[in-house]
Amino acid sequence: MLSDNDIREVIEKGELKIEPFSEKQLKPAAVSLHLGFNFLKPKPSVTIDPLTDIPERIYCRISLKKNENYILKPNEFILTETLEKIGISKNLGFLVEGTSTMARLGITVVQTAMIVDTGVGFPKPRKITLEIKNNGPNPVVLHPKMRIAKAVVFRLNTPSSYAYDDKRKYKDQTGVGAPKTTTRAEI
């Protein structure tokens, strides 16, 4: 895992891209990420087939304006994006997790997708999708630009043989990404 000094160095070398980036985002061994303005809210009472469904059938798009907030109700789940665009070289790994403050309010920021694959957004940085759920008993106000997550960065022993964006289904994603279907069941 990289320290704040190491993270600063990989940013300076261009191995990690964070746009926008401020020194204030650096933690001792992590970098803070902020909430973006766009959300996908699942439509209620829709039976979803992950092999065939299209995002327009299962999600409502919400785009907040500068001074708007989103109230996340108890047990509500949404997809959202980071404010920052991220680019991860084939030399690095990147894990995203919620902040302890959000966790103490009952908010999970990552359901199971904490690994951001090597080569995502590289060389062209892009926003990362977050899966947010309110597990607490109270509504929680989400403010765009608020600190919502942190990422730890680590160096791979050897670079990956290819970048995620070279071959995968989310490579053209520019903002908050809905799940994409696959043509077959994967085993």
Classify 58 as helix, strand or coil. Answer: helix
- 10 Å Cβ neighbour count for 119? 24
Please confirm, yes or no, whether 81 is among the known catalytic residues: no
Question: Residues 23, 81, 131, 186: which is the catalytic one?
Answer: 131
State how far the Cα of 124 lies from the Cα of 9, in Å rounded to an integer.
19
State how far the Cα of 133 lies from the Cα of 97, in Å rounded to an integer.
13
Which H or E run contains 154? strand 147-155
Q: Could you identify the residue written with the tokens 């947010």? A: 132
SS3 content of the chain, % helix, strand, coil (to 5): 15, 40, 50
Residue type, 78: I
Q: What residues are labeled active site?
A: 131
